[in-house]
Structure 1
Amino acid sequence: MAKTVIDVEGMTCGHCKSSVEGALHNLDGVSTAEVNLEKNNVTVEYNDTIIDRGKMTAAIEDQGYDVKQ
């Protein structure tokens, strides 16, 4: 398992948290996704032979949030 922290702009509430975590959990290869609203990021544990950071970033951006590169 690999682990990464993705900085996300625009998350302010519980709905934001649910949207981002849900989008990531729906991806094959993601085992956990935990949003930290205070730090404006999400910590993701994933199988790096199945999914990469680019696909996770796209899933977050599809929910309407900006990922800081």
Structure 2
Amino acid sequence: MNKKIIMQLDELTCPSCLTKIEGAVKNTPGVGTVKVLFNAGKVKAEFDDSQVSADTLSGVVAKLGYTVQQVKVKDL
């Protein structure tokens, strides 16, 4: 895992959102740890950018019906 992505979402309205998002992102090949910060509306994940891109990860969240407002990617 050599990158960290932080996605800002606006629609986190219930705890089941957390479980749904964490599961979908974690099941994406190349993703390590995933944490959804419910109250902050953020999704943080570590990933290997040789296996998956930040755009793919934000797309996974978008396909679940959430709008990704902002994406930040950092090197680990």
- Aligned-pair CA distance for 1:15: 0.5
Aligned residues: 69
In 2, the alpha carbon distance for the partners of 1:4 and 1:65 equals 16
Match runs of 1:1-69 below 5 Å: 1-69=2-70
Q: Quick one: distance in 2 between partners of 1:57 and 1:9?
A: 13
Q: Distance in 2 between matches of 1:52 and 1:9?
A: 22
| Alpha-carbon distance in structure 2 between the residues aligned to 1:3 and 1:61 | 18
Runs of 4+ in 1 over 3 A off after TM superposition: none
Using the alignment, how far apart are the partners of 2:56 and 2:18 within structure 1? 18
Q: CA RMSD in A?
A: 0.9
- C-alpha separation between the residues in 2 aligned to 1:40 and 1:28? 23
Output the amino acid matched with 1:38.
Answer: N
- Secondary structure of 1:68's match? strand
Alpha-carbon distance, 1:32 to partner: 1.1
Identity of aligned residues (%): 28
Unpaired runs of at least 5, structure 2: 71-76
